[in-house]
Structures are given as structure tokens and as C-alpha cells.
Amino acid sequence: GDSVTQMEGPVTLSEEAFLTINCTYTATGYPSLFWYVQYPGEGLQLLLKATKADDKGSNKGFEATYRKETTSFHLEKGSVQVSDSAVYFCALSEPWGAQKLVFGQGTRLTINP
């Protein structure tokens, strides 16, 4: 079945550092790819998404590019802030039916001032 693997955490960075969180996937079809973020004490919320190869999703300074050749969707941000501290989940869904999400393990990010 479909699966998502993302880099192990936790990740700790200093403010203004460059961030990369790796994500790779296995899917039988042509899935849509997502990054969701969970701030402390809250549910998940969509950060960005991409629907086809070479699409770039972006939001709040974060970016990720759908790479079909490497089955990857790595999350990047050029300069992180303390407010980016959260748990980040990579996910995929097949583009039909209920489009249920398959999630990676989550990566806890802590940004120190």
C-alpha cells in the first residue's frame, strides 16, 4: 500500500537557520502531496500542497517541490523563526474517492532564539 517516510526528529535549529525536512513516498498511482503542521495544543492544519510532478507548493515562507523521479517532497524554509516550532507531517492522498490521507511519522521542530 501507499506509504510516507519522513526524516526522524526531533530537529533543533537556531533562529534564521535554513530548514530542510526530508519526505519520500511510495504510491501506486499519482498522488497529491501535502505538508501539515501541528502547533502545540492544536489539531493539524494544511501548510502547503502539490498535485502533480514539478509543482511547487508554498506558504508562510515554506516550500516543497513534487519530485516524481525521486518520489520526494522535501520541506524547506530559508530562515526559520521561533514561531515555526511545531510538528510537521508529510502526507499523500490518491486523487479519487474520499482522498484519505496517509501520513509520515511527523518531525518535531524546535527553533531556539
* Sites of contact with another protein (CB under 8 A): 4, 32-34, 36, 41-46, 49-51, 89, 93, 95, 97-106
Q: Let me know the angle formed at the C-alpha of 55 by 43 and 63, rounded to the nearest 5 degrees.
A: 50
Query: Is cis: bond before 113, omega within 30 of 0?
Result: no
CB of 50 within 8 A of CB of 81?
no
Q: Nearer Cβ to another protein, position 10 or 61?
A: 10
Classify the C-alpha dihedral 39-93-100-98 as positive or negative. positive
Least distance from C-beta 84 to another protein, angstroms?
19
Q: Nearer Cβ to another protein, position 17 or 55?
A: 55
Least distance from C-beta 80 to another protein, angstroms?
22
Q: Nearer Cβ to another protein, position 41 or 113?
A: 41
Q: Nearer Cβ to another protein, position 42 or 113?
A: 42
Q: Could you give the CA distance from residue 9 to residue 112 in angstroms, rounded to a whole number?
A: 15
Least distance from C-beta 43 to another protein, angstroms?
4
